[in-house]
Chain A
Amino acid sequence: MKNKLWKLLALLAVFGLLAAGCGDDDDDASSSASSDSASASESASDSSDSASASEAAEEEECEVARGVSDTEILFGSSQPMTGNLAALGEAAVLAMEVTRDRINDGGGIHGRNIRFIVQDDAYNPELTTSNAQYFIDQEKVFAIWASIGSAPLKAAIGIHDEGNTPTLFPWAQDLSFYDVDAHPLFFSVNPSAYAQTKGFGNYLVENYPDEELAVGLMTINSVDGEQTVDGFKDSDGADLLVDEQTWERDSTTYGPQILSFIDSGVTDVYVGTGDTQFAQFLLESDQLGLEARFWGSTGTISQNTIDLAGELSEGALGVNVISSATADKPGINAYKEAMLAAGAEDAQLGTASLLAYTGGLVLEEMLERTGPCLTVENFVAAGESIKDFDTGGIMRPLNFSADNHLGNNDVIILEVVNGEWVELVIGQE
């Protein structure tokens, strides 16, 4: 009997502690708001200037967004940390850490440091959805930052929107994301898959006018893949398309597709994949004797492609939304320096980390422009006010507006020359 009583008491004590813990969490927003107002009234009484008094009054009225305290802004990020895209997730997270450390080491933004939580989704939309719910309901984040993948984000973006949670700078390219009316809290620097193949088609026609071209498209069997095909069909090179093939995430070989391309007599193959798959595609094309120019999408532009495919990658071309991570430009050099200092391997210097890093630059600017009163509305307005934002050459200057939350809509054409991605054209429309 005595034993049971002790157990009951212990149980009650545990519940009590849990309740106290939850209470603390729940009080976060209100305590931050009250300490905001306390510091605001102090500064108002210290100053005789009426302008500063009115600023202080504004601050006092400001009810900061969820996930924002006096000292911190909390973000969530759903990433493929396991599975065959884990390398991309790891690289993106490292770039986010670099951004976080740069901001926090510089004293934060308006006195607030940034912090983020990563949840693995293994590129599985179901997990991305549950991660979104976890971030918003449990962790109470301010925004979702730098997630990877169109299909996962497509499943989760409704939850972000409903939870009044900005979706910031993902590596996701579904056309629907860029509709500001549908997703007013979505900001990106990553042109759609549609824009990439449109740029590719236009580039082909402009640059190989004397050749008889026949194009094959190899795209993922998803909405992303469909938009990739649509982009090419809307380009100047639409008539050149002779073969369309798809691949699945669980593909173990691309042999049948490659044999089909050989049958079709393609001169150029566009492969919309990640870097590992592109390297495998190059390897199998060599095995089966497909002689063509190979074009990779954004995900293929990395050192990893070159390391894995070796000599077979020489001459491969890429259609990217961003400069090569190996280019010699101020923005790229700063990125490389920061990433390598953070312990990045060469293979992690690629599109995944560079996009996350560039998004981080814009995020920092948005937070600066928002000012101390960090509400979602102010944050969005600050983003829309950004014009000609210089990324140090990583992309063309970025422009946002109330109608356009995609800062960049041009692509960059690259080629592997002597084991390095070299830019051929910047700003192909």
Chain B
Amino acid sequence: MTEYIQLAWQGLVSGFAYALIGLALVMVFKTARILNFAAGTMAGVTGFLAHWWAADQGMPFGVAIVFAMILTAAGTYVIERLTVRPLVKLGDFLPIVIMTLGIEVLLANVSLLWWGGTARRYRVPGDIDRINWIIGDFRLNAWHVVVAATTFVTLSIVGYIINQTELGLGMKAFAEDQDAAKLMGVKESTVSIYTWVLSALVGGVTGIVFAPVLFLQQDYMNIIFIKGFVAAILGGFLSLSGGVAGGLLLGELEAFTIKWAPREIAAALPVVIVFIILLIRPHGLFTRAKQHERV
């Protein structure tokens, strides 16, 4: 039994990463109808910045994270205003997608130039990523607990913003019907910028908490991005909770199939399962077909 619990926990930890990135992607898509292909790299840059300030510039760990998050927010603001917004005004979907791909390439190359291609260890205070607790036969890594807690807190904050604030109301209004939202006086550009920044901060948190797990290296968040993308599709791409649930489901699928499926197909099996789910429910597990039609 412990083996199942251990495996489920391992899957959950991976799933947290997919869920957070899935959430970040859905957030922007739901309100602005934009697929942000730079989300993974932006998250990775936040991780690198936090590491750089702490390890190379000697800042305290927590302060370095705050600085990285502030810079991420500011950078995202600039990106949205200078590159995305002008294209949104043109009203064409494709150039925006290409623009986000361009931002991804640019950020990836800048980070490669700045930090090089060699992987680095992201050191956390007290090296708690190397501490393991043993509870019976179950083993619990201390940093994985931090990952779980951070995920929970992040989801709670996002949930609060969306459900309890004016901004969240605006986001929901835009997600439902953009024209009606505009007629009601919701400012599109304001909703858009806050959504982008919030999405980048969620991605940034993911980049930081998963840096000790995956090691910091150029593109280290791209794999998470791809899985987060699958998670968002699995959730229907229009449901925030669907994106999160899709991520957690994908993490579990990976863990259990790799453990028990024949080795030749183990790695491909989660993708096949997702494929079958989408054949049965093309609009994803957590959205209705009508929602997709409206989009």
A residues touching B (Cβ–Cβ < 8 Å)? 81-84, 86-87, 89-90, 221, 244-248, 250-253, 255-257, 259-260, 263, 275-276, 279-280, 283, 286-289, 304, 307-308, 310, 312, 345, 347-348
Which residues of B are in contact with A by a Cβ distance under 8 Å? 3, 6-7, 10-11, 13-14, 17, 108-109, 112, 116-121, 129-130, 132, 134, 139, 141, 144, 213-215, 217-220, 222-224, 226-227, 254-256, 258-259, 263-264, 266-267
Q: CA–CA, A221 to B112, complex, Å?
A: 27
A253 to B217, Cβ gap below 8 A?
no
Provide the bound-state CA to CA distance between A347 and B14, in Å.
28
Which 3 A-B pairs give the minimum distances between C-beta atoms?
Answer: A86-B117, A255-B10, A256-B258
| Among B13, B121, B263: residue with most chain A CB under 10 A | B263
Q: Could you tell me the distance in whole angstroms from the C-beta of A81 to the nearest C-beta in chain B?
A: 7
4 more A-B residue pairs beyond the given contacts A253-B10, A253-B13, with a C-beta to C-beta distance below 8 A:
A82-B108, A253-B14, A253-B254, A345-B118
Q: Which of B118, B141, B259 contacts A304 (CB 8 A)?
A: B118
Residues of B within 8 A of A308 (CB): 119-121, 215
Q: Which residues of A contact B254 (CB under 8 A)?
A: 253, 256
A68 to chain B, nearest CB (A): 31
Asked if A259 and B215 make an inter-chain contact with CB atoms under 8 angstroms apart, the answer reads no
Contact across chains for B263 and A347 when beta carbons are under 8 A apart: no
Residues of B within 8 A of A250 (CB): 223, 226-227
Least CB distance from B285 to A in Å reads 21
Q: Give the distance to chain A from B212, nearest Cβ to Cβ, in Å.
A: 9
Nearest-CB distance from B246 to chain A (Å)? 15
Report B-chain residues with C-beta under 8 Å of the C-beta of A86: 112, 117, 217-219
Instruction: Among A82, A90, A245, find the residue whose CB has the most chain B CB atoms closer than 10 A.
Output: A82
Chain A residues closer than 8 Å to B144, beta-carbon distance: 287
Complex contact A244–B119 (CB within 8 A): no
Q: Is the interface of B mostly helix, strand, loop or mixed?
A: helix
Residue of A221, A259, A279 near B10 (CB, 8 A) is: A259
Alpha-carbon separation in the docked complex, A272 to B134 (Å): 29
Instruction: Please state if A279 and B215 are interface contacts (CB–CB under 8 Å).
Output: yes
Q: Contact: A288 with B218, CB < 8 Å?
A: no
13 A-B contact pairs sorted by A residue (CB < 8 Å): A83-B219, A84-B219, A84-B220, A86-B112, A86-B217, A221-B263, A221-B266, A250-B226, A250-B227, A252-B214, A255-B10, A304-B118, A308-B215
Contacts of A89 in B (CB 8 A): 117
A87 touches B7 (CB 8 A): no
Contact in complex: A248, B267 (CB < 8 Å): yes
Which of chain B's residues have a CB closer than 8 A to the CB of A312? Answer: 130
State in angstroms the CA–CA spacing of A308 and B130 once bound together.
12
With known contacts A247-B267, A252-B224, A288-B139, A310–B130 Cβ distance under 8 A:
yes
Residues of chain B within 8 A of A247, CB atoms compared: 267
A82–B259 CA distance with the chains assembled, in angstroms: 30
Q: Are A87 and B118 in contact (CB under 8 A)?
A: yes
Given contacts A257-B258, A276-B217, A310-B130, contact A252 B17 (CB under 8 A): yes
Would A287 and B217 count as touching, CB distance under 8 A? Answer: no
Closest to A250 in B: B223
Known: A256-B259, A347-B118. A82 touches B112 (CB 8 A): yes
| Chain A residues whose CB sits within 8 angstroms of the CB of B227 once the complex forms | 250, 252
Nearest CB in chain A: distance from B107 CB, A: 12
Chain B residues within an 8 Å CB radius of A253: 10, 13-14, 213, 254-255
CA distance A252 to B222 in the complex (A): 10
Docked Cα-Cα span, A247 to B11, in Å, equals 15
